[in-house]
Amino acid sequence: MSKTPLKIAIAGLGTVGGGTVELLHDQAETLAARAGRPLTLVGAAALIKPDTAALAGVPFFTDARAMAKECDYDVLVELIGGASGIALEVVRTALERGRSVVTANKAMIAHHGIELARLAEKTGANIGFEASVGGGIPIIKSLREGLSGNHVTKVMGILNGTCNYILTTMRDQGRDFADVLAEAQKLGYAEADPTFDIDGIDTAHKLAILASLAFAMPINLDGVACEGIRHVSALDIGYADELGYRIKLLGVAAVTEAGIEARVYPAMVPLSFPLAHVSGPFNAIVTEGDFVGRTVLEGRGAGARPTASAVVADLMDLACGRVMPAFGVAVDTLEVRPAAPAGAHRSAYYIRLMVKDEPGVFADIAAALRDEKVSMEQIIQRGRAPNQTVPVVMTVHETDEASMLRAVDRLNALASIAEQPRLIRIENL
């Protein structure tokens, strides 16, 4: 075993930073044996120093920027968070000094990852971001290394544990979205401002990173169409059960004849598919390659210990000298690929209408669908309630999204439709 340690400075000692410090301390002997050298903390930065034995004797900084400039380290671990600001500043400082970086910051990688990878190549440093997607799931390494012999044609998954927890609880307890969200905030599963999670932005960041790795293309966050789960109701989840589906917030990126599709949306997933059974705060990611076929990885998508595990996996690669370009190939060889037009997406759909119970309603609905060449597969309506609104649920055969959206506009214009139709894609996998 070499006596030359891998010298680590860590910026940010919150949930993930604290977990990383704990793991490095508690597993020090195991890590050293596997790496062939010690992994040693030589600096830590946060506004307040935590009271933990794992930081005993470690130089402490209240300014991460000062640590990045002054400390003698081999690798800086950035766990501050945020797409820019101090997090981006300390990462740039480290790379400019020729020091490697490990980060869990998906927003920063989604917005600046290509720039940072180019800077790392210029200065001879490396940048690892396994912890940025999927918590403890080793999806970055899988795409960059394990599947490198494949042309990956699709990557999709449940990438946000908060949304999956909310949808799972809604189904298990028959409760509506707003009620479950409020409870999730009280329990700490959702942020006080949950916008990034429930509107799909967090998933979009992660999907943009995965698509870049899967398809050897620059990150294109602007090319990710994004839809959240605010409109999903307990009524929809109940009908999904009846039809043999689970509703999940998916991130899906695929190579199509029309270009690269990258989309975040709630979808009905058939019970026969593994993603349908991923519950609570868990994540799962599916890839499809020409030689390997389909692979499925599942695990905890967030939290101190799972995410720390992914951070330390990147540190172990550096300690062992296992390094390669951040996105699998040199940045300048990444191929810019056209995005598929928004309306080109094809899918089957679930539609829920709240209609006035009166004669002629179904004829009007059928005409609206017929005019856009949308074909009904099945329809559910139970009971009658004269002079009141009742739910009518339909599934339609696969059609292009542009036609489906025009049909929804026609339906919404009918006098018998009492509220905006609810549309959810069906993933027939």
- Would you say residue 336 lies in a domain? no
User: 88, 104, 132 — which closes off a domain?
Assistant: 132
- Report the number of distinct structural domains present in the chain: 3
- Higher local confidence (pLDDT), 57 or 384: 57
Confidence at 356, pLDDT banded by 50, 70, 90: confident
- The answer to whether residue 46 scores a pLDDT higher than 90 is yes
Residues 173 and 285 occupy one common structural domain: yes
- pLDDT for 1 equals 65
Average pLDDT of span 390-411 = 94
Residue 425 per-residue DSSP state: E
Residues 115 and 151 occupy one common structural domain: no
Count Cβ neighbours within 10 Å for each residue of 354-384 and write b for 16 or more, e otherwise: bbbbeeebeebbeebbeebebeeeeeeeeee
**Strand runs labelled E in 89-151:** 100-103, 127-128
Name residue, tokens 């080109």.
344
Residues 123 and 154 occupy one common structural domain: no
Question: Would you say 209 and 109 are in contact if contact means Cβ atoms under 8 Å apart?
Answer: yes
Average pLDDT of span 235-255 = 96
Whichever domain contains 361, its CATH number is 3.30.70.260
- pLDDT for 303 equals 87
- Higher local confidence (pLDDT), 301 or 39: 39
User: How much is the mean pLDDT over the chain?
Assistant: 94
Residues 187 and 114 occupy one common structural domain: no
* Boundaries of domain holding 90: 6-132
- Would you say residue 334 lies in a domain? no
**How many whole angstroms separate alpha carbon 65 and alpha carbon 47?**
12
Question: Would you say 112 and 331 are in contact if contact means Cβ atoms under 8 Å apart?
Answer: no
- Would you say residue 290 lies in a domain? yes
Whichever domain contains 185, its CATH number is 3.30.360.10
- The answer to whether residue 382 scores a pLDDT higher than 80 is no
Average pLDDT of span 132-137 = 95
- The answer to whether residue 247 scores a pLDDT higher than 70 is yes
Residues 65 and 211 occupy one common structural domain: no
User: 116, 132, 148 — which closes off a domain?
Assistant: 132
- Would you say residue 1 lies in a domain? no
Q: Which residues are catalytic?
A: 206
- Would you say residue 57 lies in a domain? yes
Residues 51 and 89 occupy one common structural domain: yes
In this prediction the pTM is 0.95
Average pLDDT of span 162-169 = 95
Residues 363 and 244 occupy one common structural domain: no
Count, in order, helices (H) and strands (E) of the chain: 14, 16
Average pLDDT of span 325-353 = 93
Closest C-alpha among 283, 325, 275, 323 to residue 307? 283
Which whole-number Å values give the CA distances from 272 to 8, 248, 277, 313, in the listed order?
Answer: 45, 14, 9, 33
Residues 268 and 156 occupy one common structural domain: yes
- pLDDT for 184 equals 87
- Would you say residue 308 lies in a domain? no
Region class of 244: left (phi > 0), else alpha (psi between -120 and 50), else beta: left
Average pLDDT of span 180-187 = 90
Residues 127 and 15 occupy one common structural domain: yes
Residues 82 and 126 occupy one common structural domain: yes
**How many whole angstroms separate alpha carbon 302 and alpha carbon 298?**
12
Confidence at 381, pLDDT banded by 50, 70, 90: confident
Strands 100-103 and 152-158: unpaired
Whichever domain contains 94, its CATH number is 3.40.50.720
Residues 146 and 286 occupy one common structural domain: yes
Long-range contact list for 272-280, CB < 8 A, 24+ apart? 273/427, 273/429, 274/298, 275/156, 275/157, 275/158, 275/248, 275/250, 276/245, 276/246, 276/248, 277/246, 278/158, 278/164, 278/248, 279/164, 279/168, 280/161, 280/164, 280/165, 280/168
- Would you say residue 325 lies in a domain? no
- Would you say residue 332 lies in a domain? no
- pLDDT for 384 equals 66
- pLDDT for 386 equals 67
Question: Would you say 204 and 195 are in contact if contact means Cβ atoms under 8 Å apart?
Answer: no
- The answer to whether residue 429 scores a pLDDT higher than 80 is no
Burial class (CB in 10 A: 0-12, 13-18, 19+), 189: buried
- pLDDT for 151 equals 96
Element (H, E) at 409: helix 401-412
User: 285, 300, 315 — which closes off a domain?
Assistant: 300
- pLDDT for 388 equals 80
- pLDDT for 385 equals 65
pLDDT digits (tens, 9 = 90+) for 265-286: 999 999 999 999 999 889 999 9
Which range has the worst mean pLDDT, 2-6, 99-103, 325-329? 2-6
**How many whole angstroms separate alpha carbon 429 and alpha carbon 426?**
9
Residues 55 and 198 occupy one common structural domain: no
**Percentage above 90 pLDDT, the chain:** 89
- The answer to whether residue 383 scores a pLDDT higher than 70 is no
Instruction: Please enumerate in sequence order all residues whose Cβ is within 8 A of that of 181, keeping only pairs 6 or more positions apart, or say none.
Output: 166, 190, 194, 198
Confidence at 118, pLDDT banded by 50, 70, 90: very high
Average pLDDT of span 327-351 = 93
* CA-based end-to-end distance of the chain: 49
- pLDDT for 229 equals 97
